[in-house]
Chains A and B, each alone.
Chain A
Amino acid sequence: MGLDNQRKFGAIQEVRRGFQDVGYVCSTQIATTLYLAHHLQKPILVEGPAGVGKTELAKAAAAYLDRPLIRLQCYEGLDESKALYEWKYGKQLLYTQILKDKLADLLEGTEGLADALARVHQYDDIFFSERFLAPRPLLLALQEKEGAVLLVDEVDRSDPEFEAFLLEVLSDFQVSVPELGTIHAVSRPYVFLTSNNTREMSEALKRRCLHLYIPFPDARLEREIVRVRAPGVPERLRAQLVGFVQQLRGLDLKKVPSVSETIDWARVLMILNARDLGPDVIRDTLNILLKFEADIEMVEGRLGEMAQKVVR
C-alpha cells in the first residue's frame, strides 16, 4: 500500500492524471499542492468561494488513494467529545450492573475498607479501557491502519478553542486521552481542512498547513470539468454554457454560480435535449444557476445580448 502510494505521487503530472481518472479535474496548482502535501506530510488548508469543489477534492483524494474518507463537519459549539472520543457511559453503567455479583466474589475475604479498596484498585482501569471508548472522527482517522483521508469541513465555523485543540492533532498526529495516555497515529492520515473564510483562521493553524486557494476556474478548465462530470453534453453546447456562466460571474450578483451549479445546469440541458443555448432555454433553466430573485431579474434583462455573445 505504501509503495503503491509512493508511485501514485511520483510526479505532479501523475497526480493530475490520477485525479482526472477519479473524476476530479485539477489545475496544476492543485496537483502541485497535493503532491507536496504527500511528500511533506502536511495538512492542506483549502480556501475559496463556495462550490468550487473544496470538499470534492478530499473525496477525490480518498478515491484516488483508495482509503476511507473520514469527515468531520465543523459547527459552532463542536467540542472534543464530538470530534475526538467519548466514553460509552451507558455501557459502563450496564456492565457495572451485570458485574455486581462478581464484585461480591472479588471482595470476599477482605478485611476492612482499605483492603477492599486495594483489591478493587487492581481492576480500576477496566472500565476506562478502549473497550468503552467511542472513537469520533479524529480518533478514527488516527486509528485507521492503512491511513485515511481526513476531511475537516468548514473549519472556520468551529470555535477558536476547537481550532487550538486541532493543532495538536495536526502537528504531531497524536491525541491525549487522560485515562489512556497519548494515542499516536498508526499511519499518518492525509488531511484536508476547508474554509469558506467566514473568519480568519489563526496564524498557528495556517503555519502548520499548506495553503491552497481555489478560485473559480477559467473557461478552459471549466469546460474540462463539465466534460468529465457531465459526459454526453455535446462539445458545442459545453463551450456555450461555460461561456455563459463565465459571463455571469463577471456581473454584480448576490451569489455567483458555482462550479457545481454549472455541472447541474449542464446535466439539465442534456436532459432537455438542448442543442443550442438560446434565450428561451436559458430563461427556463436560469433558476438552476441563480438562487436569488433579484439576480434572476437582473440577468433576464440582458439575456438576449449575453446569449448572443456565447452562441456566436
Chain B
Amino acid sequence: MEQVLCDLVVALRGSGVRISPSETMDALAAASLVGFQERGVLRDALSVALAKSRTEKEIFTDCFDRFFSPDGFSTPGATPPLAADAAPNETDSPLSQMLLEGDRAGLSMAMREAADQADIAGITFFTQKRLYIQRILRGMGVDGLDRDILRLSREDQETSPQTVGALKIGREFLFEQVRDFVERQYALYAASAQEAIMDRYLRHMKLSNLEQRDYERMHRIIQRMVKSFNDTHSRRKKGARRGLLDLKKTLRENLAYQGLIFEPRWRARKIDRPDMAVLCDVSRSVEAVSRFMLLFLYSLNEELAKIRSFIFCSNMAEVSYIFDAYPVDEALMRLQRGTGLGVDLGRTDYGQAFRDFKEKWLEKIGRRTTVLILGDARNNYGAPETGILGLIHKRARRVIWLNPESPPFWGTGDSEMRRYLPFCTLARECSSVHHLERVVGFLVRQG
C-alpha cells in the first residue's frame, strides 16, 4: 500500500505539486486512518495532507482520478478472444492459460505487478515507452507464451491450430493493452518532468527566438519570478520597521513609573514601498523582445502597487491604466499596436521620448523611485538628449537600463548606449529570462 501512495506522490510531484517527505508521512498516516474502502473519503484525506493550495487541490483531484482509474483490460471492446474449443492445456504457461480463459482480473494483476517490477514511475521520456512495454511484457511471462505458440504449432494435434490462432490473437491483444497502459502511465508521470525540462530550456533561450506557442508558458515563468522577487523584497523591508527611540513619547508614557524609563517607545518608521517607473521601447527594432518586456511589466504591475509604466517610440505615453484595465493578452496587443494610446510608432526617437518625459513626468520622480528603461538605444542618429537622462539620474534613486543587445554592440551604428551609460546606475544585457532573473536578483540585493 505504501508503494502505491509513494507512486501517487511521485506523480503529483511531476505535475508540479511540491510534496515534502513529512507530508508523505502524513498522507500515509491519513490513509491508514480512513482506510481504502471509500474512494471519496480517501481522496479528501489525501488532498488535505498533500495539496496545500487551491490550484494544487485541482491538480491533485485530476491526478488522483487518473492514478486510480481502472487499468486496461476492462475498456469496452477489449475482451480477450475466447476460443471455446481451445481447451487449456496442462503444459501451457500461466499467461497463455489466462489468455485462453479470458481471465481479465488475473491479466490486469499480472500487468500491475510487472509494471511495478519494471519501476514504471521512473518513466521520463517518450523514447522510453517501448522499453517499458517490453519490460512489462517480459515480466508478465510473454516468453512462456511464445514458447507455447511455437511448440503447439509444431505438434500436429487436431486442436492445436485453433489454440495457436487464439494464442496469437491473444498476444496481439496483450501487446495493445500493455501499450495503452504505458501510454497512460507516461501521461501521469512524465508529462510534467518534460515540463520542467521545457521551462529550463526556455529560460536560456533568446527572447527574440521564442514562438507564439511558448508565450503562455513564458508568462507563467515570469509571473513566478516576479512573485518571488516581490516576496523577498517586501520581507526585507518589514524587518526594519522599528525606528529610533522616541524620547518625548517615552518620557510621557513613563511618568507613571516615577519618571524611571521603563518602557521605551519607538518611532514608527515608514514602510518603504518599492516605487518604480518603467520606460519601455516598443519600436520595430526591439519588437520581438518588447513583448516580453511588456509581459514582465504586466507581471510587475500585478505585484507592485506603486508602479508607473510608459511606452515610447517616436514619442512617449503613459500606459499604467492599460495594465489594470485589460487581461494580459489584450493589454499586450494594445500596447504593441499603440492604437489610441497617443504613442506614435514611427522612427524611434529617444530624444523626443526623453523630452516628453521631462515635460510631463519628471516631477514625479523622487529619491525613492527606481527608473527602469527597457530598450536598445538605437536612436536613428537623432539627438540623444543625454542631459535629460542625467536629470532623471540625479533625481531618482537609481536608473537601470536593460538592453536586448549584448555589450559589444553597444555604441555601434546608431546605438547611443555608450553615451547613456554614464547616467545609468546599472546597465545590463537582457535577452533571456535568465538575464532578467539576474537583474531582479540585483534589485533585491540592493534593495
Give A contacts to B, CB under 8 Å.
12, 28-29, 32-33, 35-36, 39-40, 42, 45, 47, 77, 89-90, 93, 159-161, 197, 200, 203, 206-207, 209-213
**Chain B contact surface mostly:** helix
> Nearest Cβ distance between residue A103 and chain B, in whole angstroms?
16
Q: Are A93 and B260 in touch, CB under 8 angstroms?
A: yes
Which residues of B (11-62) have their CB < 8 Å from a CB of A?
18, 20, 22-23, 26, 29-30, 33-34, 40-41, 44-45, 47-49, 51-54, 57
**Given contact pairs A28-B41, A77-B241, A89-B263, A210 touches B26 in the complex (Cβ within 8 A):** yes
Per-residue CB contact flags for chain B residues 235-263 toward chain A (1 = under 8 Å, else 0) read 10011010000000000000011001011
Residues of A within 8 A of B239 (CB): 161
- Closest-CB distance, B71 to chain A (whole angstroms): 27
A90 contacts B257, C-beta separation under 8 Å: yes
Point out residues on B near A: beta carbons under 8 Å: 18, 20, 22-23, 26, 29-30, 33-34, 40-41, 44-45, 47-49, 51-54, 57, 227, 231, 235, 238-239, 241, 256-257, 260, 262-263
Contact indicator A159/B48 (Cβ below 8 Å): no
Show 11 residue pairs from A and B whose CB-CB distance is below 8 angstroms, ordered by the A residue. Answer: A12-B41, A28-B40, A28-B41, A32-B44, A33-B44, A39-B33, A206-B52, A206-B53, A207-B52, A210-B48, A211-B49
The one of B45, B49, B57, B238 that contacts A160, using a Cβ cutoff of 8 Å: B238
Taken together as a complex, chains A and B put the C-alpha atoms of A200 and B41 apart, in Å, by 27
Q: Are B44 and A29 in contact (CB under 8 A)?
A: yes
Closest to B40 in A: A28
- For residue B32, which residue of chain A has the nearest CB? A39
Cβ–Cβ contact B49 & A36, under 8 A: yes
Q: Knowing A93-B257, A212-B48 are in contact, say whether A203-B30 is a contact too (CB < 8 A).
A: no
Knowing A47-B54, A89-B262, A161-B239, the reply to whether A28 touches B44 (Cβ < 8 A) is yes
6 closest Cβ contacts across the A-B interface?
A206-B52, A211-B52, A32-B44, A210-B48, A29-B44, A33-B48
Separation in Å of the B304 CB from the closest CB of chain A? 14
Partner of B41, one of A32, A161, A203, A206: A32
B262 near A40 with CB under 8 A, answer no
For the complex, what is the distance from the CA of A29 to the CA of B51, rounded to whole Å? 13
A32 to B47 alpha-carbon distance, docked (Å): 10
A186–B402 CA distance with the chains assembled, in angstroms: 58
Taking the closest CB of chain A, its distance from the CB of B224, in whole angstroms, is 11
Query: Inside 8 A of A36's CB, which chain B residues have their CB?
Result: 30, 33-34, 45, 48-49
Who on chain B is nearest to A211 by CB?
B52
Contacts of B30 in A (CB 8 A): 36, 40
Q: State whether A93 touches B262 (Cβ < 8 A).
A: yes
- A42-B26, A89-B263 known; A210 and B34 CB under 8 Å? no
Taking a contact as CB atoms closer than 8 A, the residue among B29, B44, B257, B260 that contacts A40 in the complex is B29
Please give me the residue from chain B that is nearest to A208 by CB atom. Answer: B22
Task: A12 to B106: give the CA distance in the assembly, Å.
Answer: 34
Bound-complex Cα distance A36 to B260 (A): 53
- Of the listed residues A36, A203, A212, the one surrounded by the most CB atoms of chain B closer than 10 A to its CB is A36
Closest Cβ of chain B to A1, distance in Å, is: 22
Cβ-closest chain B residue relative to A30: B44
A188 to B343, CA, bound (A): 64
In whole angstroms, how far apart are the Cα atoms of A90 and B263 in the complex?
A: 10
Q: Which residues of B contact A209 (CB under 8 A)?
A: 52
Kindly report which residue of chain B lies nearest to residue A45, judged by CB atoms. B52
Minimum C-beta distance from B95 to chain A (A): 41
List of B residues within 8 angstroms of A210 by Cβ? 26, 48-49
